[in-house]
Structures are given as structure tokens and as C-alpha cells.
Amino acid sequence: MAIQSSKATFPGGVHPPENKQLSEHGGIEPVSPPKLMAILLSQHLGAPCQPVVAKRDTVQAGQMIGKSDAFVSAPVHSPVSGTVKDIALQSHPVVGRTTAILIETDPDSAAESKPPFDRFDSGFSAEPYSVEQICKAVHDGGLVGMGGAGFPTRVKIEPNPAMPKEILLINGCECEPFITCDYRLMLEGTWQVLAGIRLAAKACGVDRVRIGIEDNKPQAVSVMTEAAASVKDLDIQVVAIKTKYPQGGERQLIRSLLGKTVPTGKIPPTIGVCVLNVATCAAIAEAVVLNKPLTHRVTTVTGQAIAKPGNYYVPVGMTVGDLIEHCGGLTEQAAKVVMGGPMMGFAVADLTTPLTKTSGAVTVLTQEDVTRAKHQKQQTPCIRCGRCLTACPEGLNPTKIAHAVKYNRMDLAERYYMSACIECGCCSYVCPANIEITGYIKTGKILVARAKKRMQA
Ligand code: SF4
Ligand code: SF4
């Protein structure tokens, strides 16, 4: 079968060492839930959920335990049957601490769940499902963008007369180094992913679909191309695109696949595009066809300092520590645990931090990695080389924004379009003066958001 390749790409970006070999050959393994689960009430963009269960309540696997009436939000569900032990603050991978529902797993519910790949095949049709049914199942199932952004999926796919969609783009890039969960999902859950794509296309009201996969994953390109060829009611094509970070960023993927630019400050639907990650598509199929909420996901556990790197089907709410223990524990070289990959991930000091719906990876760095990073962090003054400008995929001037933040000139930082920064880390990666440019920008955004909140109060 001829594979479509595109030489088109986005400006800027970098190509860090891929390091996918540690886990790319490991098939997806189910993981048994631990004795205690911690399901965070804020795992998405938008309003956090409020608990709908109380301490000492009995819950069933798949039961909704938190929800919000806000339009931009997504309910959370228990992956296990058990008893609510507490509702308390728990470490959160991004926002510090937030409320979680702690559930003691019933011993009868302690069996591992397997991904339902064998429930889908080439005979799937989206015909029996109405648009309303699809959107309701996606909302009720608590689906959010699983590539990392965590935007509620229902809001993305449901019909919106003000912003009609023309094309659906599927993100199978997985451009962040080390991570291989989406790659394995495309190989092992091909028909489930494709079923989700067909349901999403129906909800979006589009008949054109493009699946972008980086050309360092030829096997995934091949299986997805073969599967897509069986679909007759959609114009669906798999496109192998250049391996470059951050190729999987929504705006970068649109540029590479369609040659279009999403205007600064706008979102893809304003130019008629909906972008979904392959894991989100698999979850759509599960929610709509099997009536199963988002309680499990595939997560890569990787790095030189983990005993058994691989790809695992984990219950959302399992702690990082429990997952690491399941993977044989840390080796003596372990020095830092990162949720996510090395470019956009967050270092976690507290291993009781639970995995969320967006946790695609846990990367364990070695002492050697950290020593190298420490060395990199010995900053020198900016030498005005301009490398950060060339690397920025959003066409920003990172050094000017960072300087504005450093000197507390948020007005200037805003004028340099700080809010358009996608926090990809390319500028920091290329900076020969080892300036933590992205760190400054992240801090600046937090300070601006806090100031806005204070003004609204
Ligand atoms: S300024 Fe933002 S978008 Fe540009 S390279 Fe730096 S982190 Fe990425
Ligand atoms: S890459 Fe670093 S040294 Fe070069 S201009 Fe940007 S901030 Fe300055």
C-alpha cells in the first residue's frame, strides 16, 4: 500500500534524542489497581468537579464520583469498586495540591482490567449512533484530550453553528522524546482507534480526516494506512510527517498537514479544524460503543533508571509510586521522576501524586541525566545569538518575553504575546547561555493569571 508522506512542516522546532527504544517494543500490559486509589477532581481544563459521593460511601467500578455543571468541565469516575476512605487534598502533577477522592479498593475489584481492543474490528460502523448519542456518551464518560491538554472532548466535537468544522485531524505524532504509549496504541488497538475516529468525524459533521504520524514510526504509519483503506464512507488518509518536536502541538500539526496557520490567540475551530489525539479516539470508541467511562489509559513508564520500562494500561488515580513499584522499582541511578516527557513534563517530588487522564508517561531520569541538567543550568548572560527565536515554533521572541518577566514587566511580556507561548521548551533547549527561558515564561503566565483573578474578585 502506498504511504502518503508530507515534506511540509512548521517553522522552528528542534530534534532532541528520541530515546524511544527503551519502551517502544514493550506491548501494553494491564496493571492491577492498588489498595488505595486517589482520583483527582481536577484532571482537565475548565471547572473542577465537586464530589457526588461522601466518606464511607460504597462505589462501583465506573461510577461517577465527581461532576460540575459548568460547560467546560468533565466528570470523573472510579476505576474500581470500593469504599470512599476520605475526600482530601492530594498532590497534583501541575497545580500543586487539589481535592481528591480516596477509594479503598474492594479485594474483589483488584483484578487488572485489559484494554478492550478485541471488541473492535474492521466491520465497525458509526451508522447506529446518532450525533447526540455520541456527544452525550463522550460527556458522560468524562473524556478529555489525552495528549496532555485535557480539554473536554465533548466541547471539541459537538456541532457548533458559529464555528462549523470542515476537517478532523488526528494526532498520532507523539513527538515528545521517550514516550511510546500512542505508538503502541496505534499498533495494538488499531481498530478501536479507527472506530473512535469514525464516531468523532460523525459528531463533528465532517467527511475529511487526516491522521498525522511522525515518520520515525513507519510501522504505525503502515498499520493505520491499511486500516484506513477499509473505510469507504470517509475521505481518510494517513500522512507520514517529518519527525520534529513539537510536531504534535495542535497548531504545528495543522500547519504541517494543511499548510494553514491558526491566528494568534484563536483556536483551531475558528479555521474549521478539530484536532484529536489517537488515545482520545480510542476512549471515544470505548465510551460510545461499550458505555465505559474514562477510568484507564495507556501510560509509558520509561527512562534508564526504571527496572522495567514499558507501556502499561493503568487505572487513573493510581499513584506514581505504586506504578513505579509495579514496574520493578527504581534502579540505584534514579534521581528524578518526571510526569510526562523531558520537554514538557513536570518533575514530581511526591510519589503519592496520582496519575490523571492526561498522564501519558512517567519518565525516570538518572543521576547522570540530572548532573548534565545541573551543568546546563549554570546560566551565563544572554549572548543575543537569536537561536531561541529560530527554534520557537510560534514565531515569538522568547528572550524578550523572558527578560520582561525577569524584571516584572508583565505589560511588556503581554505585548510580546507571552500568552501565545505553548510552553514547548524549544527555546530553553537551544539556549547556549543555559537560560531557563520557558521557566520564566511559565512563571509570567501564572503571575498574569493571578493578577487577573485578583482584579475579578
Ligand atoms: S517561547 Fe514558548 S512557544 Fe516559543 S520556543 Fe519558547 S516555550 Fe516554545
Ligand atoms: S538563545 Fe539564549 S543566548 Fe541566544 S538569544 Fe536566546 S536567550 Fe539569548
CATH code: domain of residue 450: 1.10.1060.10
Q: Is 392 in the pocket of ligand 1 (CB under 6 A)?
A: yes
Residue 56 shares a structural domain with residue 142: no
Note the ligand closest to the C-alpha atom of 384. Answer: 2
Counting residues of the chain whose pLDDT is more than 90, the rounded percentage is 81
Domain span including residue 332? 29-105+294-370
The residue among 188 and 374 whose pLDDT is bigger is 188
For the stretch 216-239, pLDDT in tens is 999 999 999 999 999 999 999 999
**Distance from residue 58's CA to the centre of ligand 1 (Å):** 46
The residue among 203 and 452 whose pLDDT is bigger is 203
Residue 140 shares a structural domain with residue 282: yes
- pLDDT at position 63 is 97
What is the distance between the alpha carbons of residues 434 and 432, in angstroms, rounded to a whole number?
Answer: 5
Residue 267 shares a structural domain with residue 170: yes
Residue 74 neighbours by CB under 8 Å, 6+ apart: 43, 44, 46, 49, 139, 142, 143, 144, 152, 153, 154, 357
Residue 279 shares a structural domain with residue 136: yes
Beta bridge partners of 64: 77
User: Does some domain include residue 68?
Assistant: yes
For the stretch 43-58, pLDDT in tens is 888 888 999 999 999 9
Which is the closest atom of ligand 1 to the Cα of 246? Answer: 8
Ligand 1, residues 421, 430, 445: which to mutate, most atoms within 8 A of Cβ?
421
User: Does some domain include residue 183?
Assistant: yes
Helix, strand, or coil here: 69?
coil
Residue 176 shares a structural domain with residue 283: yes
User: Does some domain include residue 1?
Assistant: no
- Res. 376: pLDDT tops 70: no
- Give per-residue burial for 99-136: e unless 16+ CB within 10 Å, then b: bbbbbebbeebeeebebbbeebeeebebeebebeebbe
Confidence class of residue 84 from pLDDT cuts 50, 70 and 90? very high
Q: Any idea what the CATH number is for the domain that residue 205 is in?
A: 3.40.50.11540
Helix, strand, or coil here: 32?
coil
Average pLDDT on 107-128 reads 91
The residue whose CA is least distant from atom 6 of ligand 2 is: 388
Average pLDDT on 66-85 reads 94
In degrees and rounded to multiples of 5, residue 81 shows phi and psi of -85, 145
Which is the closest atom of ligand 2 to the Cα of 389? Answer: 6
Residue 137 shares a structural domain with residue 250: yes
Residue 226 shares a structural domain with residue 365: no
Q: For residues 90 and 99, is the Cβ–Cβ distance under 8 A?
A: yes
User: Does some domain include residue 382?
Assistant: yes
Mean model confidence pLDDT for the chain: 93
Helix, strand, or coil here: 111?
coil
Residue 256 neighbours by CB under 8 Å, 6+ apart: 6, 8, 9, 10, 212, 241, 242, 247
User: Does some domain include residue 110?
Assistant: no
Confidence class of residue 112 from pLDDT cuts 50, 70 and 90? confident
- pLDDT at position 46 is 85
- Res. 2: pLDDT tops 60: no
Residue 135 shares a structural domain with residue 254: yes
User: Does some domain include residue 13?
Assistant: no
- Res. 7: pLDDT tops 80: no
**Cα 445 to chain centroid, rounded:** 20
For the stretch 157-205, pLDDT in tens is 999 999 999 999 999 999 999 999 999 999 999 999 999 999 999 999 9
The residue whose CA is least distant from atom 3 of ligand 2 is: 382
What is the distance between the alpha carbons of residues 343 and 16, in angstroms, rounded to a whole number?
Answer: 9
Domain C-terminal end among 232, 261, 289: 289
Residue 225 shares a structural domain with residue 143: yes
Domain C-terminal end among 289, 324, 341: 289
Q: How many domains does the chain have?
A: 3
User: Does some domain include residue 420?
Assistant: yes
What is the distance between the alpha carbons of residues 303 and 309, in angstroms, rounded to a whole number?
Answer: 7
The residue whose CA is least distant from atom 2 of ligand 2 is: 431
- Res. 102: pLDDT tops 90: yes
User: Does some domain include residue 111?
Assistant: no
Q: What is the largest CA-CA distance in the chain?
A: 62
The residue whose CA is least distant from atom 1 of ligand 2 is: 431
Residue 231 shares a structural domain with residue 301: no
Q: For residues 64 and 51, is the Cβ–Cβ distance under 8 A?
A: no
**Distance from residue 376's CA to the centre of ligand 2 (Å):** 14
Domain C-terminal end among 289, 311, 338: 289
**Per-residue 3-state assignment (H helix, E strand, C coil) for 235-284:** EEEEEEECCCECCCCHHHHHHHHHCCCCCCCCCHHHHCEEEEEHHHHHHH
Q: Any idea what the CATH number is for the domain that residue 76 is in?
A: 3.10.20.600
Confidence class of residue 285 from pLDDT cuts 50, 70 and 90? very high
**Distance from residue 252's CA to the centre of ligand 1 (Å):** 12
Residue 65 shares a structural domain with residue 181: no
The residue whose CA is least distant from atom 1 of ligand 1 is: 398
- Res. 293: pLDDT tops 60: yes
Residue 230 shares a structural domain with residue 134: yes
